[in-house]
Amino acid sequence: MLKVFHHPFSAASRFVRLVAAEYGIQTEYVVERPWDRRREFLLMNPAGTLPVMSENGGPPICGAAPIMEYIDETRGYAMADRRLMPNHAEVRAEVRRLVEWFLIKFEGEVTGYLVNEKIYKLEMPREAGGGAPDSAVLRAARANVRHHLKYVGYLAGTRDWLAGPKLTFADLAAAATLSCADYLGEVAWDDDEQARHWYSRIKSRPSFRPILADRILAIPPAPHYADLDF
């Protein structure tokens, strides 16, 4: 049994939820608000970031990439053809490059800004940085998201799935990150037909259902957010 500390709008947490669902792992989820800087949470992960996981009360496993590797090392082989990590070392490297691209680079240039300004700041007390969104930050994120969407479209158009002919962790990382921006209506799907087609395929997977059901009361999702035929 896995226990995962997450936030519904943390892209890296969504990635782990998708991975656990694809691998069919029974998981208990606990919502953590990192800005509370809860002592027990910081003892598990001194970086104070999400997600954090533990298995059967074992030591904490911190961060999306270490969790991905752990789950694949302990369950990947048994998944046979549904394994999300390819067999060849070179293709594995490409999957890892793209997971880092979406969960660190895209997150740092787009989703992290959008979610912080439009969601987290609503939930945070003022002394932790809460308040109104900064429009300059939103503008920067909106400029960056276009380049990333084009890159997703390029990969999807040349490779079927993002890292090659099969679904891998790279697709889940990209979809996790894009889904946060999409909830906020910040992805111009009309700009890239290949990216839209790829996203509609991954969005239709059963593993995606809980993510499409996520809601923040104060901010309803973009109208097409949970629509499989957007």
- Angle, helices 169-183 vs 11-22, to 10°: value is 130
- Identity of the residue, 18 or 155, whose beta carbon is nearer to its own copies in the bound complex: 155
Euclidean distance between CA atoms 44 and 142, whole angstroms: 34
The distance of closest approach from Cβ of residue 49 to its own copies in the complex, given in angstroms and rounded to an integer, is 9
- Identity of the residue, 74 or 204, whose beta carbon is nearer to its own copies in the bound complex: 74
Phi and psi, residue 52, nearest 5°: -130, 140
The distance of closest approach from Cβ of residue 163 to its own copies in the complex, given in angstroms and rounded to an integer, is 12
- Identity of the residue, 31 or 47, whose beta carbon is nearer to its own copies in the bound complex: 47
- Identity of the residue, 62 or 173, whose beta carbon is nearer to its own copies in the bound complex: 62
Euclidean distance between CA atoms 10 and 67, whole angstroms: 15
Euclidean distance between CA atoms 42 and 37, whole angstroms: 7
Euclidean distance between CA atoms 5 and 13, whole angstroms: 8
Cβ-contact 146, 119 below 8 angstroms: no
- Identity of the residue, 101 or 183, whose beta carbon is nearer to its own copies in the bound complex: 101
Residues that bind its own copies (CB under 8 A): 46-47, 58-59, 61-63, 65-67, 69-70, 73-74, 89-90, 92-94, 96-97, 100-101, 104-105, 151
The distance of closest approach from Cβ of residue 63 to its own copies in the complex, given in angstroms and rounded to an integer, is 6
The distance of closest approach from Cβ of residue 86 to its own copies in the complex, given in angstroms and rounded to an integer, is 12
In Å, how far from its chain's centre is CA 21?
13
The distance of closest approach from Cβ of residue 87 to its own copies in the complex, given in angstroms and rounded to an integer, is 11
The distance of closest approach from Cβ of residue 1 to its own copies in the complex, given in angstroms and rounded to an integer, is 15
Amino acid at 155: L
Cβ-contact 47, 62 below 8 angstroms: yes
- Identity of the residue, 152 or 184, whose beta carbon is nearer to its own copies in the bound complex: 152
Euclidean distance between CA atoms 14 and 190, whole angstroms: 24
